[in-house]
Amino acid sequence: MIDLKKTQKLIGEATPVLGRESVPILDAMGRALFEDISVVEDLPASDISALDGYAVCQTSLSGVSPSIPARLRVIGESPAGKPCNAIVGPGDAVRIMTGGLIPEGADTVVKLEDTKEDKGFVLCGADPGWGKGIRFQGESLKKGEVLLHAGDIISPLEVGALATLRRAHVCVYRKPLVAILATGDELSDFHEPASLAKTMCSNLYALAAQVVEAGAIPLILGIVKDDLPAQQALLDEALQADVIITSGGTSKGKYDLVHKAFASLGMEMRFSNIFAKPGKPTIFGIIRKKLIFGLPGNPSATMLSFDQFIKPALFKMMGLHTVFAGSTRGNNDPFAHIDSFNPEQGGNKEHHRASQVPLGNRLSENGRHQKQRSQTNLSSGRLKIVAH
Amino acid sequence: MIDLKKTQKLIGEATPVLGRESVPILDAMGRALFEDISVVEDLPASDISALDGYAVCQTSLSGVSPSIPARLRVIGESPAGKPCNAIVGPGDAVRIMTGGLIPEGADTVVKLEDTKEDKGFVLCGADPGWGKGIRFQGESLKKGEVLLHAGDIISPLEVGALATLRRAHVCVYRKPLVAILATGDELSDFHEPASLAKTMCSNLYALAAQVVEAGAIPLILGIVKDDLPAQQALLDEALQADVIITSGGTSKGKYDLVHKAFASLGMEMRFSNIFAKPGKPTIFGIIRKKLIFGLPGNPSATMLSFDQFIKPALFKMMGLHTVFAGSTRGNNDPFAHIDSFNPEQGGNKEHHRASQVPLGNRLSENGRHQKQRSQTNLSSGRLKIVAH
């Protein structure tokens, strides 16, 4: 048996980072940027007003106060979104809205509250100071500046920033397609009749949910019987995916054919700890650069193995090198976070009774709704996971 | 101006909890159960083997040891997934696989490692004790037991549990549809030509991303001009949604028509703090039980207002009363978590310069990838959000 650190290292080394995909910015949420995002144009693109008021030359305001206002001629209007052709000289004012273009000659905006307009003139009772009330060209963003970096993870703030830069689509790392199948003559699926001898293949769905939670795409291939040709055929089909997960059939029993089926497809075995005691019988290998994980059939062991071995690999594939940084600040290795394996919880082939792996009401116990991409908490709470 | 607590109370009181929706269990991830889930059948449904070995009567094993094994006749096999008709008496054994049905008469399973089969007989060198190696009917789940409760939030563990109970679909709270529109003649969208006088309507996309992050469904209605009939028409269309968010047009300027448009559609105004200074001009009201939020146009103020006012309402609509429990342990009020409003960050109508609301690299700073349903972190890091 090889130890957990070694197995994670083997998986990490064999895991490729996937390529790019261009997606609408909303679909990029939670995903890692594939490219740096640079500012293509100054923002604002020209000098605009930061408020509603009057654009003036500051020289027109010298010595004003509420009791001694300047009286300026209103020569035009600069509403938001429209060009303004007025040229402001001393003694002139242009009515301006937030976002309106600063007219030629103006260098200051007096806010509406400090003014009173009447019959073509406006009284300005305050001098805000030169340049006040103006957002100057490039003040927010300078052309050429790198605003977002490859590897950054997209949240609503980044979506807003991308939209501001007029990026409707953006390149992110592609999501891995993860084929999932369960082996065992004792299993049945939703559409099949229940019988005393059959157990629901719940692992297919729990694993698919873990894949979804990790941000990847599940491809549920269903149940395959304990039959070598059938397993070979389905595994061959599964090789369209980036990752293949099988559940069950990795123990030493008579009908355990999965690793034979893997081997017949040319798998390079990277590790197999199926003979370990206490053990979590897991196989890891590579077929044509695809990652192959043979997990145990015990539900809690399956879910724990996913968290320990597969989730970090999926994160690496998606360029999410930092998602585990919480417990390993500054460490970019998605495999570095994984807890040590606890044989009491991992289950093994010889589970004498149903594994009682409880689920916390994680929301109230952990205090945060951090399901997505958090380590699945298998160790506290109320719901017990039931073995096949 | 009314204070933040009061506004949140008003919103909370006006917010309905939405009804049910039956969805495939994978689509229920992250959502709240609408119903209790009871066990409809014992699990296991009958006594089954917990391991590979031999099913025997324990009385056949009295006094055995590795050096003095019992020699039992192998009278049949009970593989997983198939019925077994053998009847086990003293001196008999049935070869059995993990998950195989315990044959009549057997009360104990001797594990494979303690046995040696040869020519129709098996030597058993250990007595595991009565009942060992068996998972008895109902041992994992008893018929009638409530396994999951209304309000529980679905994670992979719950998906696995539902599949185990043969629940392919499950009723969860429906997701609110959230119409989003931006007002302002100065705005342009992706498909429109950029010009000096126009600003990209980035708020539409940032808000949609926040809606997605909260688990609800955005309906981006686009830009509406500063024109009363146009605003009335689009708002009327928006009333198909559960929630309407407008961005911009809530300040006192000349072209600020949004609240007139709201009023003309019969909105009961619940609060309006647009005359507050320093202020976050936000309108909240109700039209035909739909929640109407008029948010400021400043991007950071918009996002902050969403977090403070709208996200808790969306959570309540979806039955997610506990998602904020982190900072208010045991408090089921989704509005209880909200931070006090910080006028330095919320922006106001008179933002003299681009709001510099930085975004942390939350993954490395906060240590966890808790984007989904976490409070948007507007206060640390690197990316600045740029004002219109």
How far does B66 lie from chain A, in Å, by closest CA? Answer: 20
pLDDT at A99 (0 to 100): 84
Read off the CATH number of the domain in which B122 is found: 2.170.190.11
According to DSSP, the residues that pair with B283 across neighbouring strands are B272, B294
- Domain match, A119 and A199 both: no
Model pLDDT, residue A375: 37
Residue in B160, B324, B368 closest to A385 by CB: B160
- The distance of A315 to chain B (nearest Cα, Å) reads 12
Question: Measured between CB atoms, which of B46, B153, B385 is closest to A196?
Answer: B46
Best mutation target among B164, B166, B188, B305 (most A Cβ atoms within 10 Å) is: B164
Residue A73 token pair: 């001629």
Model confidence at A66, in pLDDT bands (50, 70, 90)?
very high
Beta carbons of A159 and B46 less than 8 Å apart: no
Cα separation of B190 and B200, whole Å? 7
Task: With respect to residue B296, please indicate whether it lies within any of the assigned structural domains.
Answer: yes
CB contact under 8 A, B212 and A362: no
Residues B297 and B320 in one domain: yes
> Would residue A123 count as lying in a domain?
yes
User: Rg of the Cα trace of chain B?
Assistant: 32
B159 and B203 assigned to the same domain: no
What are the φ and ψ backbone dihedral angles of B346, each rounded to 5 degrees?
A: -75, -15
Q: Is A282 within the bounds of a domain?
A: yes
The answer to whether the beta carbons of residues B203 and B218 sit under 8 Å apart is no
Q: Do B156 and A213 touch (CB under 8 A)?
A: yes
Residues in CB range of B209: below 8 A, 6 or more apart: A25, A26, A29, A155, A156, A159, A160
Look at residue A352 in the predicted model and tell me its pLDDT: 29
Q: Cα(B303)–Cα(B386) distance, rounded to whole angstroms?
A: 12
Closest B-chain CA to A225: B81
Instruction: Give CA–CA dist B350/B163, Å, rounded.
Output: 55
| Nearest residue of A to residue B358, measured between CA atoms | A157
Contacts of B302 (CB under 8 A, 6+ apart): B203, B206, B207, B247, B295, B296
CB contact under 8 A, B370 and A370: yes
Contact A52, A97 (CB under 8 A): yes
CB contact under 8 A, B363 and A161: no
pTM (two decimals): 0.81
The B283-287 sheet, strands edge to edge: B217-224, B177-183, B243-247, B290-295, B283-287, B268-272
Best A40, A164, A201, A219 member to test B by mutation, with max B CBs in 10 Å, is A164
Which structure tokens are listed for B314? 């969306």
Mean pLDDT by 10 residues, chain B (388 residues): 78 95 98 96 91 95 93 93 90 92 96 94 96 94 95 96 95 98 90 82 97 97 92 94 89 67 91 57 90 89 91 96 42 51 34 29 30 37 43
Is B96:B105 a contact under the CB 8 Å cutoff?
no
Q: Name the helix (H) or strand (E) containing B213.
A: helix B202-213
Residues B181 and B320 in one domain: yes
Chain A residues with CB-CB distance to B190 below 8 A:
163, 166, 168
Instruction: Please list every residue in chain A whose beta carbon sits closer than 8 Å to the beta carbon of residue B157.
Output: 206, 303, 359, 376, 378, 383, 385
**Which of A252-266, A317-331, A333-347, B315-329 shows the highest mean pLDDT?**
A252-266
CATH of residue A288's domain is: 3.40.980.10
Q: Which residue of A159, A168, A373 is in closest CB contact with B209?
A: A159
One domain for residues A227 and A331: yes
pLDDT value of position B78: 93
The answer to whether position B141 is within a domain reads no
Rounded CA separation B199/B205 (Å) = 13
Of residues B352 and A308, more confidence is placed in A308
Q: Report which secondary-structure segment, H or E, holds B37.
A: strand B37-38
Q: Best-predicted range by mean pLDDT among A8-12, A120-124, B318-322, B352-356?
A: A120-124
Residue A76 CA from chain centroid, whole number: 49
- B286 CB neighbour count, 10 Å cutoff: 16
- Is the residue at B249 inside a domain? yes
Q: Calculate how close chain B gets to A22, using CA atoms only, in Å.
A: 16
**Alpha carbon distances (Å) from B45 to A388, B98, B101, B102, B138:** 11, 15, 10, 12, 6
- Contact at CB, A253 and B26, closer than 8 angstroms: no
Nearest chain B residue to A44 by CA distance is B388
Q: A254 to chain B: which residues are within 8 Å by CB?
A: 52, 79, 97
The partner residue sitting opposite A132, judged by closest CB among B324, B352, B378, is B352
Tokens 């957990």 belong to residue: A4
Whether residues B167 and B224 share a domain: the answer is no
Residue A380 clears pLDDT 50, i.e. is over it: no
Give the pLDDT band of residue A259 (cuts 50, 70, 90). Answer: confident
Report how far residue A64's alpha carbon sits from residue B68's, in angstroms, rounded to the nearest whole number.
Answer: 112
User: Do residues A121 and A204 both lie within one domain?
Assistant: no
- Whether B326 and A133 lie within 8 Å, measured CB to CB: no
Chain B: closest CA distance from residue A287 (Å):
28
Does residue A298 share a domain with residue A184?
Answer: yes
Cross-chain Cβ contact B206/A388 below 8 Å = no
Higher-confidence residue of A196 and B183: namely B183
For A83, name the nearest residue in chain B, comparing CA atoms only.
B197
Assigned token pair, B142? 């008893």
B200/A46 Cβ within 8 A: no
Residue B140 lies in a domain: no
Local structure of B212: helix, strand or coil: helix
Residues A342 and A292 in one domain: yes
**Which of the residue ranges A34-48, A309-323, A324-338, B317-331 has the most confident prediction, judged by mean pLDDT?**
A34-48
Flag if A210 and B387 touch (Cβ within 8 Å): no
pLDDT at residue number B250: 66
Position A90 confidence tier, pLDDT thresholds 50, 70, 90: very high
Domain that holds residue A160: 22-40+146-173
Which of A100, A111, A185 lies at the smallest CB-CB distance from B82? A185
Q: Is residue A319 part of a domain?
A: yes
In this structure, how many other beta carbons lie within 10 angstroms of the beta carbon of residue B148?
A: 24
Q: Which of B33, B39, B98 to mutate to test the interface with A (most CBs of A within 10 A)?
A: B98
- Tokens 């001098």, located at residue: A127
Chain A nearest-CA distance from B269, in A, is 25
Q: Domain holding A29: CATH number?
A: 3.90.105.10
Closest residue in B to A360 (Cα) is B157
H/E segment holding residue B220: strand B217-224
pLDDT of residue B381: 38
More confident residue, A17 or B4: A17
Residues A229, A358: one domain?
yes
Would you call A194 and B166 a contact, using CB atoms and an 8 Å cutoff?
yes
Pair A153, A196 in one domain: no
Q: Are B81 and A184 an interchain contact pair (Cβ–Cβ within 8 Å)?
A: yes
The fraction of chain A above a pLDDT of 70, given in percent, is 78
> Which of A196, A330, A366 lies nearest to residue B45, judging by beta carbons?
A196
Specify the pLDDT at position B156: 97
SS3 annotation, chain A: CCCHHHHHHHHHHHCCCCCEEEEEHHHHCCCEECCCEECCCCECCCCEECCCEEEECHHHHCCCCCCCCEEEEEEEEECCCCCCCCECCCCEEEEECCCCECCECCCEEEEHHHEEEECCEEEECCCCCCCCCEECCCCCECCCCEEECCCCECCHHHHHHHHHCCCCEEEEECCCEEEEEEECCCEECCCCCCCCCCEECHHHHHHHHHHHHCCCEEEEEEEECCCHHHHHHHHHHHCCCCEEEEECCCCCCCCCCHHHHHHHCCCEEEEECCCCCCCCCCEEEEECCEEEEEECCCHHHHHHHHHHHHHHHHHHHCCCCCCCCCCCCCCCCCCCCCCCCCHHHHCCCCCCCCCCEEECCHHHHCCCCCCCCCCCCCCCCCEEECCC
Measuring CA to CA, which residue among A118, A117, A367 is closest to residue B325? A367
Task: For residues B165 and B56, state if they share a domain.
Answer: no
Of B51, B299, B325, the CB nearest to A352: B51
Give me the torsion for CA of B376, B381, B383, B386, rounded to 10°.
70
| Mean pLDDT rounded to a whole number for chain A | 82
CA-nearest of A165, A370, A20 to B383 is A165
Closest residue, chain B, to A204 (C-alpha): B160
Q: Note whether residue B78 is domain-resident.
A: yes
Band of residue A2 on the pLDDT scale cut at 50, 70, 90: low
pLDDT at B379: 35
Q: Which two tokens stand for residue A37?
A: 């995002």
Give residue A256's pLDDT band: very low, low, confident or very high (50, 70, 90): low
- Please report, as a single letter, which amino acid is at residue B30: G
Shortest distance between the Cα of B141 and any Cα of chain A, in A, equals 8
Q: Chains A, B: CB contacts under 8 A, how many?
A: 347
Shortest CA gap A347–chain B (Å): 12
- In chain B, how many domains are there? 3
